[in-house]
Chains A and B, each alone.
Chain A
Amino acid sequence: DIQMTQSPSSLSASVGDRVTITCRASQSIYTYLNWYQQKPGKAPNLLIYAASSLQTGVPPRFSGSGSETDFTLTISSLQPEDFATYYCQQSFRTPVFGPGTKVDIK
């Protein structure tokens, strides 16, 4: 299986901050990379697909970039509702999720 790593595993930030989360694949996955947001007790919610395409209904402060093995999720100005855990997931081969990045309040 392709392995996925994320960094950092957690971060503390303030409302209005720019936040960047990195995801790395163990081999090239081209742009078969998706990002999800999960809040406690809820199912994950798709934010970004195909590395940089914004899912319908997701605010434009979320953006994704990258290709091959290195990818980034950016939140341009963190809002109170963005405090959550974020996961990347590759869909090039058998689906595999990253371990997650928890974003909490500084």
Chain B
Amino acid sequence: QIQLQQSGPGLVKPSQTLSLTCAISGDSVSSNSAAWNWIRQSPSRGLEWLGRTYYRSKWYDDYAVAVKSRITINPDTSKNQFSLQLSSVTPEDTAVYYCAKSVTVAGPFHLWGQGTLVTVSS
């Protein structure tokens, strides 16, 4: 059974970097078909896709335009996980963050992590 387990701090100070990790069990981050995504949800912005990483003989990533200058999603093959880093955070980045798997790059998000509430506050 494939599972995604998120970890990371729930409180980040303004201007600092938000970092979350999504550990994969029952599948491989190096899968040649899947994509590994980060999505967030807040009352003001709704559900917002942030970006993805995927492996097709080499590593690729795609990011949402709204966060492209601040975001990095990295795979870690040694730990079979992937991470999210969002720099220069503001209170607007307060949200529940989810990792999610799609079977193909353009596929639906059919498996989600449990979610992590991240609050940006001093």
Shortest distance from the beta carbon of B106 to any chain A beta carbon, whole Å? 5
Chain B residues near A32 (CB-CB < 8 A): 106
Number of residue pairs across A and B with beta carbons under 8 Å? 50
B54 on interface, CB distance cutoff 8 Å: no
Q: Which one of A97, A99, A100 has the greatest number of beta carbons of chain B within 10 Å?
A: A97
- B109, closest chain A residue (CB): A46
Shortest distance from the beta carbon of B101 to any chain A beta carbon, whole Å? 11
Shortest distance from the beta carbon of A6 to any chain B beta carbon, whole Å? 10
From A17-25, A66-74, A75-83, A85-93, give the one contacting chain B.
Answer: A85-93
Q: Decide yes or no: A49 and B107 within 8 Å by CB, A44-B112, A95-B49, A96-B49 being known contacts.
A: yes
Chain B residues near A43 (CB-CB < 8 A): 98, 100, 112-115
- A92, closest chain B residue (CB): B106
Q: Decide yes or no: A94 and B107 within 8 Å by CB, A43-B112, A43-B115 being known contacts.
A: no
Interface residues of B (CB under 8 A from A): 37, 46-49, 62, 64-65, 98, 100, 102, 106-110, 112-115
